[in-house]
Each structure stands twice: as C-alpha cells, then as structure tokens.
Amino acid sequence: MEEKEKPRLSRLTAIITQLQSKRIVTAKHLAERHNVSVRTIYRDIRTLEKSGIPIVTEEGKGYSIMEGYHLPPVLFTEDEANALITVEQLAIKNKDGSLSENVSSAIEKIKSILRYSQKGNADLLADRIYFGGGQGEEKTSNNLMQIQSAIIHFQVLKIDYYSSGKKRTTRNIEPFAIYSINGNFLLIAFCRLRKDFRAFRIDFIETLVPQNETFTPHNMTIQKYFEEYVKNQKYP
C-alpha cells in the first residue's frame, strides 16, 4: 500500500533529515519516498534553499547539504526510540567487541537528545529486551570496525588467518563486503594469494594490519557475488 502524501511541512522536515543522512539523494528517490511528483520535489528543494538551507545540487546526480552544515537534531518518535534500543541490545549480543562498544557509544549520544520522558522509557525497555540463542556474550573478534573502515577507503589489509582446519596463512586482501550467518561475521574480500574472491570468518583473523596501499574497486556487487560464488563456495 502506498504511503499517503504527507503535509508539506512534515515532508520538508523529512527531506532535510534524508539530505543529512546520505551523501547524495536524487529527486526521484525523494519523490518515491514521499509519494509525490519529481516536480513537487523540485519546488520543495527551492523552498528549502530560500529558507537558508545550503543545499548543493550536483547536476545529473542529485542533492546534498553543504559539508559541515548541521541542523539541530530532530526529535524521535516513541517507536523510533524503541527501535534504537532494540538495535543496541542486538548489537551487544554479537561476537565482535569493536561493534558492541561503538554501537553502545553511538546510541548513548542519541539518547542524550531524547525527550526527558523517553529517556526513562528507554532504560526500562533496555532491561526488558533479551536476545537468546545460546550464543553467550563471549567476544570472539575485535576487527569489525577496522574492516568497515578499510572497505569504504579501499584499503589493502594484511591478515594472519586460521582456517577452520587450523591452517595458518598470511594474506594481503582487498576487502569488499561483510555479511552475517549463524551469529558469525564473514568478510568477502579479493585475496591476492588466491587471485580470487574468498569469504573469511572474522573471528578466524588472528591479526589484521592496514597497509599504506589502496586498490581499485572491483566490478562486483553483493548480488553478483552470491550468484557466482556461494553455490560453489571457495574457502580461504
């Protein structure tokens, strides 16, 4: 079911939030998101510009807000605040220490801008959410944040890796993506040793050292990887 068109003021506020949350947003995306025409979005953008919002137009690409410009944070609805608390509790249960620490730190900052009444509710909800599964809370890796950084900066990583057969190898890899299965994070990367893409369990990486070298992004998508590699899974 299509979302009904929002009142214009509500839509303008939502557009500002979306511009702040992404590097670039297209008029087509905004139009589909708010169930209006692209022409209406053009008018909305002009209105925001006239009100003093420094919107940058990149011809043929879309819109963004001038770097360094930030509006005061918007208030969260109760459902949005509850969703954040749920995400925090889910992250705490994962097996990577760096993710748990950074998610908790980020959500603590978000909590600071909640309305006073929501803060008490957030604390209550955090005590009432539990994710089971028998995984325990033992952290088996601490590399996820560093890997994420390497993915977005196209940075080569040198790793010491223990395979499931306890065989140790040293690799230079070009990180591509991360996915999770059965509570474990896997890193998809181009392995220079094997000259092909491989999936590495992050908790099997003993040491990880970012190199002073970048690589050219591969012509690969998550969908293409799963279509071409998962059926004939190639292990490190």
In the prediction, which pLDDT does 112 show? 67
| Residue 27 in this model has a pLDDT that exceeds 80 | yes
Which one is predicted more confidently, 120 or 59? 59
Residue type (1 letter), 12: L
Contact assessment for residue 176 and residue 225, using Cβ atoms and an 8 Å cutoff = yes
Average pLDDT over residues 99-125: 75
| Residue 115 in this model has a pLDDT that exceeds 90 | no
In the prediction, which pLDDT does 21 show? 73
Gap between the Cα atoms of 174 and 226, Å rounded: 17
CATH topology of domain 8-65: Arc Repressor Mutant, subunit A (1.10.10)
Same fold, 8-65 and 144-230: no
In the prediction, which pLDDT does 170 show? 95
Domain ranges of the chain: 8-65, 78-126, 144-230
Gap between the Cα atoms of 223 and 20, Å rounded: 28
Look over the chain and give the mean of its residue pLDDT values, rounded to a whole number.
82
The answer regarding whether domain 144-230 maps to CATH 3.40.1000 reads no
In the prediction, which pLDDT does 3 show? 43
**pTM for this entry:** 0.62
CA 142 to chain centre: 17
In the prediction, which pLDDT does 230 show? 67
Q: What would the pLDDT profile of 42-80 be if each residue is shown by its tens digit?
A: 999 999 999 888 999 988 889 988 877 766 656 677 787
